[in-house]
Amino acid sequence: MNSTGPFDPRKEAHLLSAYVDGELSGDEVERIDKHLAQNDDSRREVERLRRFNQVTSALRLKEAPAEEWEGFWDSFRNQNERSFGWILVTIGVTVVGIWTLCILLGALISSDALPLYVKGGIFAGAAGILVLLISVVRERIHKRSKTRYKDVIR
């Protein structure tokens, strides 16, 4: 920023907003006043910023009723409890599933009663189910993170 030379609207356009908001020092205000006396485009921009400030300063947020806040906190608490519950269920099912799979694979490998091609078919089927399961979970996670409407409440 060149605070001693003439005002350059291409490099110091952000100062016009600070000028309108009254956030500049006396020297900077003088520089911009000199520039505004000579530049119609910057004067129009300052007027546009002043109108924008007037419009936005008149806006007020509507306070939510107390019932809405109570409902929000109840919903928030329920959502956290359910998320924690689903995490515990997922961990439990995963641990039991892996343990069961290890027992089945151990029994399948040590079994002499099944021909090799049947064992291969069982392994291929299990691998296919595992690939499909991973694919579905990955797709759901990807879609959930990319959707623009996940926070929309109907």
Q: Is residue 11 a contact partner of residue 36, using CB atoms and an 8 Å limit?
A: no
Concatenated DSSP letters of 63-103: PPPHHHHHHHHHHHHHHHHHHHHHHHHHHHHHHHHHHHHHH
Angle at which helices 40-58 and 26-38 cross, to 10°: 120
**Rounded alpha-carbon distances, angstroms, from residue 19 to 3, 11, 23:** 13, 15, 6
How many Cα atoms within 13 Å fall on the side-chain side of residue 94?
A: 8
pLDDT at res. 153: 67
Structural domain boundaries in the chain: 14-58, 66-146
* pLDDT tens across the length of the chain (154 residues): 446 677 777 788 888 888 888 888 888 888 888 888 888 888 898 899 999 988 888 888 888 787 777 777 777 777 888 889 999 999 999 999 899 988 988 888 888 888 888 888 888 998 999 899 899 989 988 887 777 766 666 5
Of 137, 147, 142, nearest in space to 90 by CA? 137
